[in-house]
Amino acid sequence: MISEKVLSAIKDKNIHPRCRGYFICREGVLWIFAFVFFLAGGFLFSAILEKILEQKFEAGWIILLLFFVIVAAAIYRFTGKAYRHRKRYLLIIIAVAVGVLGGFFYAFNYGKIVCDFLK
C-alpha cells in the first residue's frame, strides 16, 4: 500500500504517469544513437589501422575513437538494461567490439575510404 507521505509528495510535485510508448520511443532512440556511435567507432578504428599500417599515424585519431567509444557507452548506460553492468567492463566490451568491427571494416578496405573522405 502506498503511504500518505508518498501520495502527498506526488501531489506536491505534480507528478504524472507516463505512457508506455514514451519509454519505448526513448529506448529506441537511445539504441539508434548507440548503434550509430558504435559504427562510427568501427570506421574510425579501421581508419586508425590504415594510418598505422601506412606509417602516417596521427594521435588525433585515437582521441576521436575514444570519444566515440565513451559516447556509445554513455548512451548505453541510459538504456533500461545497462544498470546490470559495471562501467569498466562495459567500456572494455564496447572497445573490443569496436576493434573487431574496425578490423572487419579494415579487411574490406573501408579504412582507406574513411581516410580519403576525411582528407
pTM: 0.57
- Which residues neighbour 72 within 8 Å (Cβ) at sequence distance 6 or greater? 34, 37, 38, 41, 94, 98
pLDDT in tens, the chain (119 residues): 678 888 888 888 888 888 888 888 888 888 888 888 888 888 888 887 777 777 666 666 677 777 777 777 777 777 766 666 676 777 777 778 888 888 888 888 888 887 777 77
Kindly list the distances between the CA atom of residue 5 and the CA atoms of 13, 14, 18, 22, in Å, as whole numbers in the listed order: 12, 14, 21, 27
Q: What HEC string does 29-77 produce?
A: HHHHHHHHHHHHHHHHHHHHHHHHHCCCCCCHHHHHHHHHHHHHHHHHH
